[in-house]
Structure 1
Amino acid sequence: MRSIHESNVTSDSARRQPPVAPEAPGGGIGTLAGGGFVALAPDGPATLLVPTESVLLLAVDLPLATRAKRLEALPFAIEDRIAEPIESVHLALGAEIGEKRYLVGVVRHDRMAAWIDAAEAAGMGHAAMVPDALALPVPPPGCWSVDLDGARAVVRASDGTGFACAAAMLPAAWESAGRPPAIAWGAPLPPEMRAETERGDAAPLAERLAAPALDLRQGVYARRRGSSGGVWRRLGWIAVLGATAHGLIAAADTLMLRAIAERRADETRELVALAAPGIALGDDMIATVTNLLPPPGSGAPQTFLPLMSRVSGALAPLAGSLSTRAIAFDANTLTLDLAAAEPGLAVRIGAALRAAQVQATVAESPDGTIRVTAAAA
């Protein structure tokens, strides 16, 4: 039995191997980490593992009867949990991981398109595309599965979600998450993080990915037989069609706009009927729906892991220069205290956060501490 660490599924280990391409399209598990295709398990299902730093993994409540309705409601269910405009990201709906709760992946369109171009260049355009954190076994309730490899840590939580961050940030993230017992699937973890129970045997990597909890190849990025290098062309057509649609909407008369509004109201009534049976919607539907939402400060939705994932993903290129002194999370605000290990590091950190469109402030104190303050959207 090979562990996830021994199977080279993390970005760091993949970078130590030369990019290779399969002899012909078919099965096999590989990774795009490090800028090129690296084969991991040639006998496994056709799957490409992508760096979780670029994918926000969320657990989302979608109490709707059909997948089509869940997909329709998904943008509204997560728009307050991401910082990017909803139209700039690709949303992928995954497996049910709880009662009416589903795994959801969020990745920028430009990153997704680049991955597909790289996959097609490697002859793997037909493969499923899975965040590499989801290759880890799901841990027992309240625990973490952790693959620590070099300067990178990949984590899967017991709710089925996960994230990746610089290894130097792992202990601080673990503290802020309530010190969950951690099961090591890569390098040994610090003694204080280790779970008391043995990790046991995990199914081989090929079995764990036979039915992945999330495949990012959905919607416009769905796998198509015989496709080759056409993702940018498809996106171009979508942009043209979108612009045309906006023009038609702008030219629509009052009757059409009223029909759209009435249809949206009917959809809202249907969502309320499913999410809160027995609630009567009166004439003031807006007030009734607002009263159903959780009050400020109720703790829903949970924002630590999504925010931590975005910040750590933005700082991943600087992982070798980062040393974490402290981490705190309060009132939807994440605070990281980093050691100024080299001159100009604060400027580079600020530039990396801006490039990733993370709203954050960076300040350097006389004692050599760089404080990063990031707020959830």
Structure 2
Amino acid sequence: MTSRPAAMGAPDSGGPSLAGVWTLAGGRLIIAEPGGPATVLVPSEQVRILAVDLPLASRAKRIEALPFAVEDQLAEPPESLHLALGAEIAPKRYLVAAVRHEVMAAWVMIAEEAGLAHAAMVPDALALPRPDEGQWAVDLAEDRAAVRAGDGTGFACPPALLLPAWQAAGRPPATAYGGPLPVEMAAGAAELDGATLADRLLAPALDLRQGAYARRRAAIPNFWRRFGWIVAIGAAAHIVIAAADTLALRAIADRRAEDLRAVTAIAAPGANLSNDLAGSVADLLPTGGGAAPDLFLPLLNRVSGALAPLAGSIAVRTMRFEASALTLDLDGTDPGLAARVDAALKASRINGTVTRSPDGSIRVTARTA
């Protein structure tokens, strides 16, 4: 991602299967690199990218355990999200992506109508080279910044949040793969990875086209393709509505408990599970290390995505992360900005508060739960 892709228009939906790397922006497919594997890069603002421990023997078992492994890191019920399992980034530690079903269905429909049903679908932050541990690779453009961290995860945010996020993350050495970085960040730059974008996507770290959204090898008539996705989107909406019903939640909880017992029996044969299922499973988990879970980047990714439409109206004065709370002090001249920020947080289902300080700044406090 040495530069922003040049707009070449959406591909002809009636043409043959297309190769090359495409970027999905504003509902349009834009060519980023004509050669290389067929790949669609989607905005990382709408994808949660996590690093998850999955000490299970097979891919099938890891996929089965995914909803339980990520449930505490998500603000939405796992059944309302499409979960995709990626590459192993450390021993028994894997990349995992979470995206809303309705968003994923819309992306797949756009790709298939453009003749890219066979293309991989990758969050654009993961198209950056993976830097060394403790470093960042950054693609900074006029309207957004995409970041890939040394642990293999990534996120995207408005440019105004890049420097505060870097400072809150401990000022990791950062290498620019797009526009010039702020002077403070550029001071620790490493040598650029010389591989092309197509080279890096020959074996992407994570492909969202899995499960119900797996790639299609052969084209199907346009009418049936539209009909199928209408049915899929309708089904996803009914799942979300049903999840809000108390009786349905009870049934889901019971089913999860049985599933968890089954997975635990596979991972730890002979384990004695008491009526306190959560406590029993917690006792089986490995101890040591003492490191707190990485809550900062996932929360920052969600807040950045929520505030992205307001990026031109705000400037970040300070950013702090303590315990499970992210605090941002914002400057802005719009008298209605506080209300717009509050509405943006609520629309993204972020647990947070927005207050105006005596000095005129706006304080945003967002919490992981």
TM-score bracket for this pair, using the shorter chain length: 0.7 to 0.9
Q: Give the SS at the match of 2:26.
A: helix
Gaps of 5+ in 1: 251-257, 274-278
Is 1:270 paired with 2:262?
A: no
Task: For 1:113-192, list aligned pairs within 5 A.
Answer: 113-192=105-184
- Indicate the percent of aligned positions where both proteins have the same amino acid: 55
Question: Contact 1:28 / 1:42 at 8 angstroms: preserved in 2?
Answer: yes
Task: Name 1:69's counterpart in structure 2.
Answer: 61
* Post-superposition offset of 1:199: 2.1
Specify the code of the residue in structure 2 equivalent to 1:5: T
Please give the TM-score of this superposition, normalised by the length of structure 2: 0.86
Let me know the Cα RMSD of the aligned residues: 2.9
User: Which deviates the most, 197-206 or 35-44?
Assistant: 197-206
TM-aligned CA deviation for residue 193 of structure 1:
1.1
Q: How many residues align?
A: 350
Where do 1:220-299 residues align within 5 Å?
Answer: 220-224=212-216, 225-227=218-220, 228-229=225-226, 230-236=228-234, 264-272=260-268, 281=272, 286=277, 287-292=279-284, 299=291
8 Å CA contact 2:80–2:240 kept in 1: the answer is no
Aligned with residue 45 of structure 2, among 50, 53, 78 = 53
Partner residue, 2:208: 216
Residue 21 of structure 1 aligns with an amino acid whose one-letter code is P
User: Among 300, 303, 308, which residue is 1:311 paired with?
Assistant: 303
Between 51-60 and 356-365, the greater mean CA deviation after superposition: 356-365
Paired residues of 2:80 and 2:239 also in contact (CA < 8 A): no
Alpha-carbon displacement from aligned partner over 1:90-115 (angstroms, at most 9, x marks no partner): 10000111100000011111111111
Pairwise mapping of residues 292-371 of structure 1 onto structure 2 (< 5 A)? 292=284, 299-371=291-363
CA distance in 2, matches of 1:236, 1:215: 24
Deviates further, 112-121 or 75-84: 112-121
Report the 3-state secondary structure (helix = DSSP H, G, I; strand = E; otherwise coil) of the residue aligned with 1:104: strand
Deviations 1:97-142 (A, max 9, x none): 1100000011111111111122123222221110000111111221
Tell me how far apart the structure 2 counterparts of residues 259 and 307 of structure 1 sit (CA, whole Å).
29
Q: Evaluate the alpha carbon distance shift between residue 233 and residue 135 of structure 1 in structure 2; reply closer, same or farther with a 3 A threshold.
A: same
Which amino acid in 2 is paired with 1:93?
L
Distance 1:285 1:38, change over 3 A: same
Call closer, same or farther: CA 1:18–1:216 in 2, change over 3 Å: same
Q: 1:292 Cα shift?
A: 4.3
Among 20, 23, 37, which residue is 2:10 paired with? 20
Stretches of structure 2 that go unaligned for 5 or more consecutive residues are 249-253
Question: Which amino acid letter does the alignment assign opposite residue 268 of structure 1?
Answer: T
- 8 Å CA contact 1:81–1:301 kept in 2: the answer is no
In the TM superposition, residue 350 of structure 1 has moved relative to its aligned partner by 1.2
Is 1:5 equivalent to 2:2 in the alignment? yes
- Helix, strand or coil: the match of 1:300? coil
